């Protein structure tokens, strides 16, 4: 990146900008912003867009990468190593843990709580008020809804616990609760409470335990922490292994 902080970007003097931060061309950085050290903000980004309300500061942790054409409102807090894809939108009052990765064109609608090491692929829509645990995966086109009688003023956001995987093009209906390590297969529509460790498919049909998900060619099987922990930093391996064991326990005791 050959960017410098000054080229065509409009940066508030009130913004708190850490050491060794790179800001691309054509960016807009507002007042109510704190950007951590070693963070990269690519071109055409809006950081700290005002909401018109009295919001908290937008805090972006150290070592983050905000890819081009991303818009982040004021009032959210991201711990270190946030990564956004291109064309991402994040509304106010989102609180996310370590190393959240958000795929391109994803839309986080605000008042959302997200744990550590969560990954979203592209076009993920996280409805207002959703609660998402640690080490969760939401694949492309996954939508977390929140209105059970649309349109209404009732809000029943989705709750997703640690280690859950929601595959491509699935819709999580209002008030659904996916317990620890649930696996939602592609194109599902999920409602109600899904017990820990279960596979869900179609219209909320439970079809077994995740430990039965095996790739015949490689012999690899779920919970995904069995084979995929290597993609996370070493300091997380113990947490991931504990999560794996907890999910395996849900099989032994109940089935």
Query: Is residue 74 within 8 Å of residue 58, measured between CB atoms?
Result: yes
CA 198/CA 217 separation, integer angstroms = 23
- The residue (of 171 and 250) whose beta carbon lies closer to a copy of itself is 171
3-state secondary structure of 107: strand
Question: According to the binding rule CB under 8 A, does residue 215 interact with a copy of itself?
Answer: yes
Among 6, 19, 53, 153, binds a copy of itself (CB under 8 A): 153
Question: According to the binding rule CB under 8 A, does residue 65 interact with a copy of itself?
Answer: no
- Considering the complex, what minimum distance in angstroms separates the CB of residue 252 from a copy of itself? 22
Question: According to the binding rule CB under 8 A, does residue 19 interact with a copy of itself?
Answer: no
- Considering the complex, what minimum distance in angstroms separates the CB of residue 216 from a copy of itself? 9
- The residue (of 113 and 186) whose beta carbon lies closer to a copy of itself is 186
Reported for 42-46, long-range contacts at CB under 8 A and 24+ positions apart, including other chains, are: 42/66, 42/67, 42/68, 42/70, 42/86, 43/3, 43/68, 43/69, 44/68, 44/69, 45/69, 45/70, 45/71, 45/72, 46/70, 46/71, 46/72
- Considering the complex, what minimum distance in angstroms separates the CB of residue 127 from a copy of itself? 9
Footprint of a copy of itself on 159-188 (CB under 8 A): 165, 167-169, 171, 173, 186-187
Question: According to the binding rule CB under 8 A, does residue 117 interact with a copy of itself?
Answer: no
CA 89/CA 125 separation, integer angstroms = 10
Site string for a copy of itself, 223-252 (x = CB under 8 A): -x--xx--x---------------------
Question: According to the binding rule CB under 8 A, does residue 60 interact with a copy of itself?
Answer: no
Question: According to the binding rule CB under 8 A, does residue 86 interact with a copy of itself?
Answer: yes
- Tell me how far CA of residue 229 lies from CA of 79, 116, 225, in angstroms: 21, 14, 5
Q: Which residues of 190-224 are buried (b: 16+ CB within 10 A; e: fewer)?
A: bbeebebbbbbbeebeeeebbbebeeeeeeeebbb
Please compute Rg for the chain using Cα positions.
19
Residues that bind a copy of itself (CB under 8 A): 1, 7-8, 10, 24-26, 28, 43-44, 46, 49-50, 68-69, 71, 85-87, 89, 104-105, 107, 119, 122-123, 125, 137, 139-141, 143, 145, 148-154, 165, 167-169, 171, 173, 186-187, 189, 213-215, 217-218, 220-222, 224, 227-228, 231
């Amino acid at each position: 990146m050959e960017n410098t902080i000054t080229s065509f970007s409009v940066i508030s003097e009130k913004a708190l900008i850490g050491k060794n931060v790179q800001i691309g061309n054509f960016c807009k950085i507002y007042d109510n912003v704190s950007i951590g050290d070693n963070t990269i903000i690519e071109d055409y980004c809006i950081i700290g867009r005002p909401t018109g309300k009295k919001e908290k500061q937008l805090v972006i942790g150290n070592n983050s990468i905000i890819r081009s054409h991303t818009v982040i409102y004021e009032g959210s807090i991201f711990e270190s190593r946030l990564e956004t894809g291109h064309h991402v939108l994040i509304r106010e009052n989102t609180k996310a843990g370590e190393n959240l990765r958000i795929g391109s064109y994803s839309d986080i609608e605000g008042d959302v709580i997200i744990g550590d090491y969560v990954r979203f692929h592209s076009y993920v829509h996280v409805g207002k008020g959703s609660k998402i645990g640690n080490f969760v995966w939401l694949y492309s086109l996954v939508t977390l809804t929140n209105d059970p009688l649309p349109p209404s003023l009732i809000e029943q956001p989705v709750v997703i616990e640690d280690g859950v995987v929601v595959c491509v093009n699935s819709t999580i209906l209002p008030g659904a609760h996916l317990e620890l390590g649930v696996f939602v297969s592609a194109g599902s529509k999920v409602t109600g409470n899904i017990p820990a460790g279960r596979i869900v498919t179609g219209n909320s049909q439970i079809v077994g335990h995740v430990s039965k998900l095996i790739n015949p060619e490689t012999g690899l099987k779920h919970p995904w922490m069995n084979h995929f922990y290597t993609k996370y930093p070493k300091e997380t391996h113990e947490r991931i292994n504990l999560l794996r064991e907890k999910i395996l326990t849900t099989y032994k005791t109940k089935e």
